[in-house]
């Protein structure tokens, strides 16, 4: 583990914040200029999806929408294209379509391009606004509840970095969607909520290690404690993210159009969340802890590698030598069988309990 302590994550926090600011700025510019490709769930209207037995050009499909007098129809090919303009899966979107025109269009598509698996979806404008408002409310409420839990479980300084998701992860994800032009649907919102939970879980793992090391490394600066904590969980985070991404990437490559959109959101979210946990959330926590009166005497730069290794070694020795905290059950056992027992026997029982616990300390 010592070789991972060479990396000073907290010493370069200003660089990480600057890079994050640039990426967020690019995302905002992309959202302002290109906008999001909102699906029918958020815009309302009519959406017709179908497949063809062989690759068909977009021009032939547009001819069918022109034939019913709907030049405003948006015709898109889905999946891989052949010869640059031919697809086997299509999607047509219109703001409004009467039942007579709908029958005429579906019959024309079936007759002229041999359309298969025709599916028509109608969403009113008022219902789409309800979906959009519900999605935004779901994201805000979920983050607020998680921040409240972290505040009660640890302290409020640990909860503030959790909220960085609102101003860092989500804008970057939306910027990627704006640049790529992929459709944002209700499935995308479900994917965003999923990866928010995953990202926050990964963040709490790091924060919990910081909380433990603050107690085990009383002589170390905050920067040293946070660096060591990140180093201890870095390999775990990389392995977990990689294993999670493997089936999602397979789903993105081999899945259908709808599954690809869902998988794309998961891939982007996991990548952004994993990076921001190490380089954004943890430096924010370090800055907040350095301003805490309780840790006022532990400010300063991170120690060098040898100093950090010595501190960890001393902490492990101290944890192994110190008598463990007794649980209520062990205290009861001590009261029941402790009378008349020699001091050596008591020490031996404590030593056996301590050896059975991870790292020689209670959890």
DSSP states of 21-80: HHHHHHHHHHHHHT--EE-HHHH-EEEEEEEEEEEEEHHHHHHHHHHTT-TT-EEEEES-
Kindly give the parts of the chain with pLDDT less than 50: 1-2, 4-5, 302-305, 326-329, 332-333, 336-338, 357-363
Thinking of the domain 2-37+127-297, which architecture would CATH place it in?
Up-down Bundle (1.20)
The per-residue pLDDT for 126 is: 65
Confidence (pTM): 0.65
The per-residue pLDDT for 322 is: 52
For residues 79 and 259, give the distance between their C-alpha atoms in angstroms, rounded to a whole number.
11
The per-residue pLDDT for 61 is: 81
pLDDT in tens, 199-227: 777 888 888 888 888 888 877 888 888 88
The per-residue pLDDT for 22 is: 92
Nearest-CA neighbor of 86 among 116, 47, 54? Answer: 54
* Contact status, residue 302 vs residue 5, Cβ threshold 8 Å: no
Residues β-bridged to residue 51: 89, 116
The per-residue pLDDT for 26 is: 92
For residues 37 and 302, give the distance between their C-alpha atoms in angstroms, rounded to a whole number.
45
Pull the structure tokens for residue 116: 């298969």
Domain boundaries, the chain: 2-37+127-297, 45-123, 326-363
Thinking of the domain 45-123, which architecture would CATH place it in?
2-Layer Sandwich (3.30)
First to last CA, the chain: 22
Pull the structure tokens for residue 317: 């020795």
The per-residue pLDDT for 29 is: 92
The per-residue pLDDT for 343 is: 60
Phi, psi (rounded to 5 degrees) for 207? -65, -35
* Contact status, residue 269 vs residue 193, Cβ threshold 8 Å: no
Nearest-CA neighbor of 92 among 81, 80, 102? Answer: 102
Who contacts 337 (Cβ-Cβ below 8 Å, separation ≥6)?
none
- Enumerate the H helices of the chain as residue ranges: 13-33, 40-43, 58-67, 99-112, 125-153, 156-159, 164, 170-180, 186-216, 222-254, 257-276, 282-290, 305-321, 328-337, 343-355
């Amino acid at each position: 583990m010592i070789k991972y302590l060479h990396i000073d994550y907290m010493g370069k926090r200003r660089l990480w914040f600057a890079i994050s600011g640039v990426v967020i700025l690019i995302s905002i510019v992309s959202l302002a200029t290109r906008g999001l490709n909102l699906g029918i769930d958020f815009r309302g209207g009519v959406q017709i999806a179908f497949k063809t037995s062989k690759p068909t050009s977009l021009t032939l499909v547009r001819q069918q929408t022109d034939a019913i007098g709907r030049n405003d129809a948006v015709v898109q090919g889905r999946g891989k294209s052949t010869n640059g303009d031919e697809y086997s899966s299509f999607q047509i979107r219109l703001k409004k379509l009467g039942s007579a025109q709908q029958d005429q269009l579906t019959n024309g598509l079936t007759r002229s391009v041999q359309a298969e698996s025709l599916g028509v979806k109608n969403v009113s404008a008022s219902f789409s606004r309800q979906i959009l408002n519900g999605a935004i409310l779901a994201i805000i409420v979920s983050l607020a509840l998680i921040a409240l839990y972290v505040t009660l479980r640890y302290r409020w300084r640990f909860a503030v970095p959790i909220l960085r998701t609102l101003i860092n992860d989500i804008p970057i994800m939306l910027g990627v969607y704006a640049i790529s032009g992929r459709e944002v649907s209700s499935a995308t919102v479900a994917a965003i909520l999923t990866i928010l939970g995953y990202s926050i879980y990964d963040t709490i793992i790091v924060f919990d290690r910081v909380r433990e090391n603050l107690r085990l490394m009383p002589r170390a600066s905050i920067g040293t404690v946070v660096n060591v904590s990140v180093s201890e969980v870095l390999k775990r985070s990389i392995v977990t993210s990689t294993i999670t991404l493997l089936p999602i990437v397979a789903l993105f490559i081999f899945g259908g159009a709808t599954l690809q959109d869902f998988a794309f959101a998961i891939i982007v979210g996991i990548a952004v969340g994993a990076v921001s946990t190490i380089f954004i959330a943890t430096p924010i926590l370090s800055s907040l802890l350095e301003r805490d009166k309780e840790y006022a005497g532990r400010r300063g730069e991170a120690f060098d590698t040898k100093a950090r290794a010595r501190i960890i070694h001393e902490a492990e020795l101290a944890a192994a030598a110190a008598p463990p905290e007794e649980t209520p059950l062990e205290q009861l056992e001590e009261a029941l069988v402790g009378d008349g027992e020699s001091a050596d026997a008591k020490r031996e029982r404590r030593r056996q309990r301590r050896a059975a616990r991870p790292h020689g300390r209670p959890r």
